[in-house]
């Protein structure tokens, strides 16, 4: 019985204390709080970031061959054209190799020319032999005439070319022999043509090989001269004639200053909001009150964590390239700028001032004032800007909310809205 009595006394004391605190709190004057009215507004969400001015294109010229620089043809500030020589190295040996390769080409060309003339001569001789064979054949076909000898007792004998003593001779025999000789010569000339054609083909192959060797020698010699890949302006010259080529540093840096971009690094949240083709406003101390416009041209396909000396690896960021519509003369590569990107625009959205919101964990809350008391209300948010935050659920137009809530506030606390507070 004593134990039960003790529990009852304890519970009674707790209830009494709670009731006493409730009566005391409500007996106090309501706490005055700054307040604002929930309303509908037109809202624009912007992203702000700092970036740097970079050339649209840039060429860092490194040495392809180690050695001593023989000539530096440009200096910082020069305008250059594509293909223009920038830096040259000693190319004495390479020049000699090109000269030797050129001589080999000329010799191979002479061999081709000689083989071509030899083939033409043999073909002409073959044509002449064929014509002689045809002539000899015609004589043989017309040699069957009959002649009457005056010393043979009136006998009829073929006139084969016999002399006055009656000996028989045949002129066709000589013609046939000549034809056989011509035919044999024709066969020999055909073989000679084939041989001459083979010699010509070998000469032509030798010429092609010599020309390829010349091309290789010229390419190797060209590597001793560094040239501009595109039109631009020389930004840096990091070598002098007579000095060895630097290993870690470019010899010359050439950039296109007629077209400048802005490069910014956006955090993961902001990077998801921007789109290629989006409009951007650019400001800079160099430009004073003036501003530039640009268009988002490229968004990197990956986020990269840049290492820092103090914290190791920082949070990942995404590189975004902005193409400037116009480039004033006072803007130069390396200058710092601030960009403002419009990522969303809405009309008639329900919004509250940013200072009305507070967070607990991952949730957003406001204190809503109803009947003179506070009601802690969870809200869902949409787009936002520097002053206001869109509310997608949890409030309705006309609701009165607390601005700049403090830790003194709690659910059910009696408050008096400050009538001088602005509306949201």
Band (pLDDT 50/70/90 cuts) for residue 28 is: low
110 located within any domain: yes
pLDDT at 399 over 50: yes
**For residue 265, which of 56, 51, 57, 55 has the smallest C-alpha distance?**
51
Say what the pLDDT of residue 318 is: 95
Residues 111, 211 within the same domain: yes
136 has a pLDDT exceeding 70: no
In a domain, 263, yes or no: yes
Torsion sign, CA atoms 126, 130, 135, 141 = positive
Count: domains in the chain: 3
Q: Which CATH number covers residue 84?
A: 2.40.50.100
Segment 34-60 shows an average pLDDT of 91
Region for 154 from its dihedrals, namely left if φ exceeds 0, alpha if ψ lies in -120 to 50, beta otherwise: left
Q: Residue 375, exposed/middle/buried by CB under 10 A (0-12, 13-18, 19+)?
A: middle
Domain membership flag for residue 207: yes
CA 120, 122, 126, 128 torsion-angle sign: positive
Do 85 and 231 fall within a single domain? yes
Provide the pLDDT for residue 166.
46
Average pLDDT over residues 287-303: 92
Q: Which three-class secondary structure state does DSSP give residue 28? A: coil
Domain boundary among 344, 364, 398: 344
What's the pLDDT tens digit per position in 165-177? 444 455 555 555 5
In this prediction, residue 70 carries a pLDDT of 87
Which of 8-28 are b and which e, b meaning 16 or more Cβ less than 10 Å from the residue's Cβ?
eeeeeeeeeeeeeeeeeeeee
Q: Is position 280 within any domain?
A: yes
Please check whether residues 73 and 132 belong to one and the same domain: no
What CATH number is given to the structural domain containing 323?
2.40.30.170
CA 181 – CA 130 distance, rounded (Å): 11
pLDDT at 293 exceeding the cut of 60: yes
Instruction: Tell me whether residue 119 is in a domain.
Output: yes
336 in the same domain as 244: no
Structure tokens at 118: 């030899």
CB 281 within 8 A of CB 339: yes
The 10 Å CB-count burial string (b at 16+, else e) for 306-338 is eeeeeeeeeeebbbbbbebeebeeebebebebb
> Is residue 378 in a domain?
no
Does 111 share its domain with 133? yes
Give the residue from 344, 371, 406 where a domain finishes: 344
pTM value?
Answer: 0.54
Helix then strand then coil, % of the chain, to nearest 5 = 30, 35, 35
What integer pLDDT is reported at residue 168 of this predicted model?
47
Q: What is the pLDDT of residue 421?
A: 46
* Residue 79 included in any domain: yes
**pLDDT tens-place string over residues 229-243:** 899 999 999 988 888
Please state, in angstroms and rounded to a whole number, the distance separating the CA atoms of residues 157 and 143: 14
Q: Name the β-bridge partners of 227.
A: 85
| Residue 175 structural domain | 92-140+170-222
DSSP string over 201-244 = HHHHHHHHHHHHHHHHHHHHHHTTEEE-SSSEEEEEE---TTSB
Residues 283 and 231 in one domain: no
How sure is the predictor about 156, in pLDDT bands with cuts at 50, 70 and 90?
A: very low
- Residues 277, 337 within the same domain: yes
Average pLDDT over residues 113-138: 76
Asked if 77 and 113 sit in the same domain, the reply is: no
Q: How many CA atoms lie within 13 A of 165 on its CB side?
A: 1
Of 328, 344, 360, which marks where a domain is finished? 344
Average per-residue pLDDT in the chain?
Answer: 81
98 and 196, same domain (yes or no): yes
**283 within some domain:** yes
Shared-domain flag, residues 96 and 74? no
Return the higher-pLDDT residue of 19 and 124.
Answer: 124
- DSSP letters, 90-153, are --HHHHHHHHHHHHHHHHHHHHHHHHHHHHHHHHHHHHHHHHHHHHHHHHHHT---EEE-TTST
User: How distant, in Å, are the alpha carbons of 258, 260, 261 from that of 327?
Assistant: 7, 7, 9
| Of 31 and 25, more confident | 31
Same domain? For 261 and 247 the reply is no
Same domain, 96 and 205: yes
Q: Residue 67 and residue 388: Cα distance in Å, rounded?
A: 64
């Amino acid at each position: 019985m004593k134990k039960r009595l003790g529990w009852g006394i304890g519970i009674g004391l707790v209830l009494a204390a709670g009731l006493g605190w409730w009566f005391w709190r409500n007996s106090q004057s309501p706490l005055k709080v700054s307040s604002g009215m929930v309303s509908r507004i037109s809202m624009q969400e912007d992203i702000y970031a700092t970036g740097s001015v970079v050339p649209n294109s840039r060429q860092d010229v490194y040495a392809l061959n180690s050695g001593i620089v023989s000539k530096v043809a440009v200096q910082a500030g020069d305008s250059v054209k594509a293909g223009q020589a920038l830096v040259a190295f000693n190319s004495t040996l390479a020049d000699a190799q090109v000269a030797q390769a050129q001589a080999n080409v000329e010799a191979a060309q002479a061999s081709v020319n000689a083989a071509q003339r030899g083939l033409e001569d043999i073909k002409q001789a073959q044509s002449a032999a064929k014509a002689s064979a045809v002539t000899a054949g015609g004589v043989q076909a017309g040699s069957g005439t009959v002649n009457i000898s005056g010393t043979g007792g009136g006998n009829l004998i073929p006139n084969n070319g016999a002399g006055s003593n009656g000996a028989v001779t045949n002129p066709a025999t000589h013609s046939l022999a000549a034809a056989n000789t011509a035919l044999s010569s024709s066969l020999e000339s055909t073989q000679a043509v084939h041989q001459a054609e083979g010699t010509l083909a070998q000469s032509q192959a030798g010429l092609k090989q010599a020309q390829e060797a010349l091309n290789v020698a010229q390419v190797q010699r060209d590597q001793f001269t560094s040239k501009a890949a595109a039109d631009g302006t020389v930004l840096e010259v990091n070598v002098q004639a007579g000095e060895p080529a630097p290993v870690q540093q470019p010899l010359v840096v050439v950039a296109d200053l007629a077209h400048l971009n802005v490069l910014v690094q956006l955090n993961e949240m902001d990077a998801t909001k921007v789109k290629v083709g989006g409009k951007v406003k650019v400001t800079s101390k160099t430009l004073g009150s003036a501003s530039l416009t640009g268009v988002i041209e490229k968004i990197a396909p990956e986020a990269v964590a840049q290492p820092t000396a103090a914290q190791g690896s920082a949070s990942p960021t995404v590189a975004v390239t902005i193409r400037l519509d116009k480039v004033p003369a006072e803007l130069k590569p390396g200058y710092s700028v601030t960009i403002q990107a419009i990522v969303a625009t809405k009309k008639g959205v329900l919004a509250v001032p940013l200072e009305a919101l507070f967070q607990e964990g991952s949730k957003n809350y406001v204190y809503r004032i109803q009947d003179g008391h506070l009601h802690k209300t969870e809200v869902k948010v949409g787009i936002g800007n520097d002053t206001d935050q869109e509310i997608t659920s949890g409030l309705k137009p006309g609701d009165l909310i607390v601005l700049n809530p403090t830790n003194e506030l709690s659910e059910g606390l009696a408050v008096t809205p400050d009538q001088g507070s602005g509306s949201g």
